[in-house]
Structure 1
Amino acid sequence: MTAVLVIAKEPVPGRVKTRLTPAFTPAEAARLARAALADTLEAVAATPCERRVLVLDGRPGAWLPPGFEVVPQCGGGLDERLAAAFAACTGPALLIGMDTPQVTPALLAPAIGPGAWQEYDAWFGPAVDGGFWALGLASPDPGLLRGVPMSVPQTGAAQLARLVAAGLRVGRLPLLRDVDTAEDARVVAREAAGGRFAAVYAALATTAPAAPDHGAVSR
């Protein structure tokens, strides 16, 4: 069975989803982040897996459902934090972020099911912004992540190239959109209709969000 890791940041105003401002205030951005995290954790809670681990920067809150282990993120850049999360696993693991509230157990199923590792050594879920929303490893090797440039438009391509260069057979998960900008929030709220994120967005978005931000990836 595969462990599922969710890497996340405590939804505190001014510390999360800063690129959602000025379309949303820092407090509103934190509400959206909390809703996205809650939807993500709910999907993982409904997914059959060996372990459910929240790799958290901050403190857990009422948004955390039962059945999750909580471990603190290490210091350093994102590549080091992701590497450390995998290093703590002793078997197959799938890591996702808190920025895709549209994720469902069905989307995770190919990398979780009993046959997930028969034909593949890794699973890769690309993101619209050029990053990735999911990464699975049959044998969690932190060296596969250390040194990969993060939070740039080439992050996903660089990570995928690292997996291929290591000789791994890589399975592909669907392309998803991370919530980084106000435009992302609008699109994802439509895709995740019925969830907490969509409800919070509908309550906050009284006017159309700003135009899409095509700047660097923020993860």
Structure 2
Amino acid sequence: MTQIVVIAKEPVAGRVKTRLTPPFTPGQAARLAAAALEDTLRAVVAVPVRHRVLALDGLPGAWLPEGFTVIPQRGSGLDERLAAAFSDAFRLHPEPAVLIGMDTPQVSPDLLRAAAVALDGRDAVYGPAADGGFWLLGLRRPDPALLLGVPMSRPDTGAVQLARLRGAGLTVAVMPELDDVDTADDALRIAAGAPGSRFAAALRAVTGAGARPGAAVTGAGAP
């Protein structure tokens, strides 16, 4: 069996999706982040796996559905936090892990299921992001050396990570490329491609009449 791990930040204004500000306010960006996170978690819930883990920086909220084991993130840089999330999840449940973040609210249960199936016959599974990073990484066994030192948030992050996996002699299944929500343009494009998502609804709410980008929005919860 394969477990799914989500690594995420609590959607608190000023701490998440800061590249959306401007044009959005910190409160609006947090509302979008909460919706993206809930879309992601709901997609994971719909995948028939035995274990679901949330590696969380912060505290759980109403956006968290049942069925997740919540563990704290460890480490400073993202490479350290990713490596720790794999190690800690494997310590809880010693089985292969597919890890995703909260930046792809358009992800579907079918796509996650395909990643889990691919990991059954490979050492690793890798999902490239359109910005040069990666939106998914799966490992049959955690190994910090596969992640530590990989430069994060750069146009070559994904290429370096994939080269690290293949350089270690691992067999790697490559998933379809997805967009990450980083900028306002990303948000508009992703919402247009997933109009029925909570993320799209949240974007409509914060850009609708009376809630234009830059206007104050109360709270950070998903709609």
Pair in the same fold by TM > 0.5: yes
Q: What code does the residue aligned with 2:123 have?
A: D
CA contact (8 A) 1:83 1:145 kept: yes
Partner of 2:217: none
Length, aligned pairs only: 207
Match of 2:33 in 1: 33
- Contact conserved, 2:7 with 2:101, CA < 8 A, in 1? yes
1:129 equivalent in structure 2:
131
Alpha-carbon distance, 1:22 to partner = 1.1
Q: Is the 8 A contact 1:48 1:112 kept in 2?
A: no
One-letter amino acid matched to 2:49: C
1:110 match: 114
TM-score when scaled to structure 2?
0.90
Cα displacement string for residues 161-196 of structure 1 (whole angstroms, at most 9, x for unaligned residues): 000000111101110000000000000101121111
Contact 2:96 2:119 in 1 (8 A): no
1:16-50 deviations in whole A, cap 9, x for unaligned? Answer: 00110111110000000000000000000001112
Q: Distance in 2 between matches of 1:111 and 1:196?
A: 23
Contact 2:119–2:138 (8 Å) recurs in 1: no
2: CA distance, partners of 1:190 / 1:104:
15
Aligned mates of 2:82, 2:50 — CA distance in 1 = 19
What are structure 1's unaligned runs of at least 5 residues? 210-219
Given candidates 88, 91, 98, the residue that maps to 2:95 is 91
CA distance in 1, matches of 2:34, 2:23: 17
- Unaligned 5+ residue runs, structure 2? 214-223
- Contact 2:106–2:190 (8 Å) recurs in 1: yes
The Cα RMSD (Å) is 1.4
1:91·1:140 contact (CA, 8 Å) conserved in 2? no
Higher helix share: 2
Q: Kindly report which structure 2 residues correspond to 1:194-205, keeping only aligned pairs within 5 A, or say none.
A: 194-205=196-207
Report matched runs for 1:1-219 at 5 Å: 1-88=1-88, 89=90, 90-113=94-117, 116-118=119-121, 120-206=122-208
- In the superposition, the TM-score normalised over structure 1's length comes to 0.91
Query: Within 2, Cα distance between the matches of 1:50 and 1:162?
Result: 29
3-state SS in 2 of match to 1:139? coil
